[in-house]
Amino acid sequence: MGVDEGVKKNKRGVKALLTIALIVLLVALFFMFFVRITHVESGYIGIKSTLSGLSDSSAKRNVSLVRGYSIYMPLYTDFKIYPVTIQTAAYDTMRVNTDDGVEFVIKPRISFHVSEDKAALYFTSVNDDLGRLKNGYLKEIIASSYTSILGGYTSDSLTRHQSEADREVESLIISKMTDIGLEVDNLNTNFQIPKKIKDIIELRSLAEHNILLAQNQKRLAYAQADIARMEDSLRYSSLTDLAIKKLYIDKWDGKLPAYGNVSSKLHKDIIE
């Protein structure tokens, strides 16, 4: 009897353990498929969207922003967390051709962040991890923007108006990224001008310098000639006045005129 009772107790103990294990498993499965608790930390934004149906995960409704703790049902709810801090993406080499077929190499670097106010827009438009976004959709946006804008410039025009081209590219990228809920903080193109274009620029600069130097020398020659003419004119004018004064002195006999027509007579004598 004692042995039988011990066996029965063991069986009851095993059943109790199995029951507890089953309950724990059911609770775990319940929380896994039906209820989940998530905490959205500072510097992040959560997006919660209730799915409209189990078979159609693309149909979403009731998209809302989440901060702090959130309880949701993963079976019926799609939940994403995105950082709202500044993200940076740098690309080693992108090649773009200008309108005249010259290839420019650029190494763009962009800083951006998910706009908290437009996080839901990013979720519905892209719904992708930011790491994959940098090497995927974002890279396509940047490459297509540079190709579109720089392709409208000739190599000479692009070299001369690089800042203007940069502003056009930045404006286009900002527009495209705003449409998907992202804000651009900074964009650096890092242009690399081809060597042959650099050589052309150096030759043109040298030619312009020589032309300017020649023009300056010509202007200097004209200026010096004008100065010489002015000096000659002043020198002649000065000598003429002195010569007339000397003639007056030579012709004057030292007597002072006693009547009104003496000055006319004196002038006549000087001329004679």
**SS3 letters for 89-130?**
EECCCEEEECCCCCEEEECCEEEEEECHHHHHHHHHHCCCCH
pLDDT digits (tens, 9 = 90+) for 62-112: 788 888 888 887 777 888 889 999 999 999 888 999 898 888 889 999 999
41 occurs within a structural domain: yes
Instruction: State the alpha helices, DSSP H only, in the chain.
Output: 2-33, 119-125, 130-135, 137-150, 155-160, 162-178, 195-251, 262-271
Regarding whether 9 and 79 lie in a shared domain, the answer is no
Q: Note the residue count of the chain.
A: 272
Report the DSSP beta bridge partners of residue 64: 48
pLDDT in tens, 19-50: 888 888 877 776 666 777 888 888 899 988 88
Specify if 17 maps to a domain: yes
Share of the chain above pLDDT 90, in %: 23
The total number of structural domains in the chain stands at 3
Band of residue 57 on the pLDDT scale cut at 50, 70, 90: very low
Please report whether residue 28 resides in a domain: yes
Q: From the CB of residue 153, how many other CB atoms can be counted at a distance below 10 Å?
A: 22
Asked whether residue 100 falls in the same domain as residue 178, the answer is yes
**Is residue 39 assigned to a domain?**
yes
Assigned domain for 131 exists: yes
In which domain, by residue range, is 148 found? 87-193
- φ and ψ of 269, to 5 deg: -65, -40
Assess whether 66 and 101 both reside in one domain.
no
Domain end marker among 20, 52, 83: 83
Radius of gyration of the chain from its Cα atoms, rounded to whole angstroms: 47
Cα separations (Å) of 132 from 95, 128, 141? 22, 7, 14
88 sits in which H/E element:
strand 87-90
Per-residue model confidence as pLDDT tens digits over 150-172: 999 988 888 888 899 999 999 99
H or E element that contains 187: strand 182-188
